[in-house]
Chain A
């Protein structure tokens, strides 16, 4: 494919899309990143990867993504620290039990091996867990996590090798039409685009605005924390509790430190400052769920954006002729990046994909169509 493709955003979406486009034969792919690759949401993610969703399409997308995650390390020739350590949704009320029984049965019908386990089983899997108010848990051993820093480096390296051009510190300052083509302006010069892809995550609406199309993606500030290093293997799965502050936490593969967060968001906003309120909320809920964490220091706390749409599902597809978007993942972009980016690349190069991209149609909101909100954490 000879068309000049310009991708705005050097996060996981931008770089993985570039990678798949190049693999499918696109010869002229340029990625523009306003800071350094990964600066946006990718390097700020909570690292979880799960197919434990509550609707068919997201389960399908994640099931396929997990197949790709498993092969990614070899494919990119770069470590990813991807591990299938599971997700464990703690259930504290009969209503939660009921709703997750439904999720599990839907997941099982799509060959996801999730199951409802007893509090005792949950404690066996996560020994320091407090099961005082736990009625049961929904557990899927196929879910997992990966290291976003390594994964992004892997995509970057592999893309560069295939001839993709990546310009860091190149913020897009304007997009104009000239001779029927879009021209993307940056301090490093102009880039003509036959095909323009908005992969700007939390900043997507700014790009939509430059192209003069309506945007449905808003930046919401979410935060996360990391503790000091701990002996590995004590909290393998991502432990989630909607009752306790929407907390999610797991141990990092590299050093065993706990990474996670709670549901305390602000927005829409472009502010990325971490707050003490958040650290306190994290401490309050984490020390309930894993009481031994009361002895452990938080060593890092940061904020990032969930690029959020009205129904918490992404927008993937063509917005206007030659202008595509892959954004609005609302907190589950990193995990879904393999299949999302591959299917968009197929759509662009081959004109079609086996993935159910209609579900993520960027125009659905204008038609008044809202999907059932995807399960979201943090």
Chain B
């Protein structure tokens, strides 16, 4: 179901198009991705698992997992959450692994990759990547931005809440608004943008870096750049429990994507697991969209997110059950119920404390992990750092990795938030500008200022943990 009225968001929907899912006609609105359009049409069960034929639905909705893979116009294993629908498209759930057709004609001509040259190639058009692109472009560098999603902005495009902090760091502005501002800035500078384009390989070869990318799962591009910024963000963590693979158990970010980016109701009643900022904000956003939230459960003895967010949802009557976890999700073919229980000091379930809720969605906001595959593949030195939530690249104060000319910023360098991502992006962008031979004293000052702002922003208790982590990867 599509959301018709929302207190904050207005959804500009494209014209009606028709496509086919397993032979059945489905109506979509232009601009929606395949998985989103299917969801809007009430289809949550996308395919069956290979071995046990269990129903499979969405999980991350931003192209980072394999939960929504379907065959699209004969191409198997397409990430349908990021590929837009087209009139007449044929989408199929393959039974078992895909089969090779016997009578496909051999290609008449082999399509060579399209080649491009740029100074700074930014991989990931989220808050970190866009800030870097803007700054490096202002210094005089030629900048190109790649992003897997159909639109720029990264995860800002689903943040309807107002940001905290200082005014010059966009405090009081909603994430969606910040995304619009950044995108506008990028466009104004004529920065080259490739959306729906996934970088699949990063090859440092001396002074030059080669990045290979696939557009729309079909066309190969080869970018040669002098510097590369990897700002690929993060992916959501999963939580195993009985029934965790039922359609209806989604990452919190996926629920936000459905609701805030595409204006599609994720469900009627949503249980949220995890009371960090993402879980708390999601609870509030769900209520804004008219969805009921019977509870937020949190395994820790305290709420992890900001007090104001927690207070806001408590005021609306949503209980936050600390020292609780989900023990199972149940339902036939999709989530119909979820059971939670209290935990003792040793994280074991206390018998007799189970509570069962009738819900059709369980949103997991149990943390993120950095998306570092490209950095690892390029040969950057990596280290596992708990405070940064996973494997991250070593970097210097300029956000340069151990491979000269390869920079990192945002969640890919360690999980934090959009504000720190923007500051890191600024630092990486200016540093890359200098590396490319641009900039003067004024830019040096700008760089120092961004560093100071970042330092100041990290002064809270969460920031202190992050700083401890960064100590371990600073070179």
Contact = CB atoms under 8 A, between A and B. Distances in A.
A288 B106 contact: yes
Contacts of B101: 128, 292
Contact of A291 (B98, B104, B220): B104
A296 B76 contact: yes
A256 B97 contact: yes
Interface in B370-389: 379
Contact of B201 (A276, A287, A297): A276
A232 B212 contact: no
A234 B210 contact: no
Contact of B107 (A128, A280, A294): A294
A231 B104 contact: no
A358 interface: no
A234 B112 CA distance: 28
B443 interface: no
A287 B110 contact: yes
A293 interface: yes
Interface in B55-95: 74-77
Name, among B100, B112, B203, the residue most crowded by chain A CB atoms within 10 Å (CB to CB). B100
Interface residues of B, number: 26
Contact of A229 (B97, B104, B222): B97
Interface string A219-232: 00000000011111
A297 B100 CA distance: 12
A295 B113 contact: no
B315 interface: no
B210 A276 contact: yes
A228 B107 contact: no
Given A287-B106, A287-B107, A291-B105, A230 B201 contact: no
A276 B212 contact: yes
Contacts of B100: 127-128, 230-231, 234-235, 290, 292-293, 296
A130 interface: yes
B212 to A, nearest CB: 5
A229 B66 CA distance: 13
B42 to A, nearest CB: 29
Contact of A295 (B76, B112, B203): B76
A275 interface: yes
Name, among A230, A294, A295, the residue most crowded by chain B CB atoms within 10 Å (CB to CB). A295
Interface residues of A, number: 30
Interface string B313-345: 000000000000000000000000000000000
Contact of A231 (B75, B96, B220): B96
B217 to A, nearest CB: 8
A230 B105 contact: no
A231 B97 contact: yes
Contacts of A293: 100
B106 A276 contact: no
B353 interface: no
B107 A231 contact: no
B342 to A, nearest CB: 41
A232 B100 CA distance: 10
B10 interface: no
Given A128-B101, A290-B100, A229 B107 contact: no
Contacts of A127: 100, 102
Contacts of A279: 201, 212
Nearest to A290: B100
Contacts of B107: 287-288, 291, 294
A276 B224 CA distance: 13
Contacts of A275: 203
Contact of B106 (A232, A283, A291, A297): A291
Contacts of A295: 74-76, 98
B346 interface: no
Nearest to B107: A287
A93 interface: no
A94 interface: no
A297 B96 contact: no
Name, among A231, A284, A287, A296, the residue most crowded by chain B CB atoms within 10 Å (CB to CB). A231
A133 to B, nearest CB: 9
Given A275-B203, A287-B110, A228 B76 contact: yes
Contacts of B212: 276, 279
A255 B110 contact: no
B180 to A, nearest CB: 34
Given A230-B98, A293-B100, A276 B203 contact: yes
A297 B99 CA distance: 13
A256 B77 CA distance: 14
A128 B102 contact: yes
Nearest to A288: B106
Nearest to B95: A231
A235 B97 CA distance: 14
A284 B110 contact: yes
A230 B75 CA distance: 12
Interface string A281-315: 00110011011111111000000000000000000
A111 B50 CA distance: 41
A372 interface: no
A229 B50 contact: yes
Contact of B104 (A128, A230, A235, A280): A128
Nearest to B110: A284
A83 B363 CA distance: 45
A229 B97 CA distance: 6
A25 B350 CA distance: 57
Nearest to B214: A297
Contacts of A290: 100
A228 B212 CA distance: 19
Interface string A251-264: 00001100000000
B106 A231 contact: no
B77 A231 contact: no
Given A128-B101, A288-B107, 16 more contacts: A128-B102, A228-B98, A230-B97, A230-B98, A231-B98, A231-B100, A234-B99, A276-B222, A280-B113, A280-B220, A283-B110, A291-B105, A292-B100, A292-B102, A295-B76, A296-B76
24 contacts: A128-B100, A128-B102, A128-B104, A130-B106, A228-B76, A228-B77, A229-B50, A230-B100, A234-B100, A235-B100, A273-B379, A275-B203, A276-B201, A279-B201, A283-B110, A291-B104, A292-B100, A292-B101, A292-B104, A294-B104, A295-B75, A295-B76, A295-B98, A296-B100
Interface of B: 50, 74-77, 96-102, 104-107, 110, 112-113, 201, 203, 210, 212, 220, 222, 379
The 6 closest A-B pairs by CB, nearest first: A292-B100, A291-B104, A128-B100, A231-B99, A292-B104, A127-B102
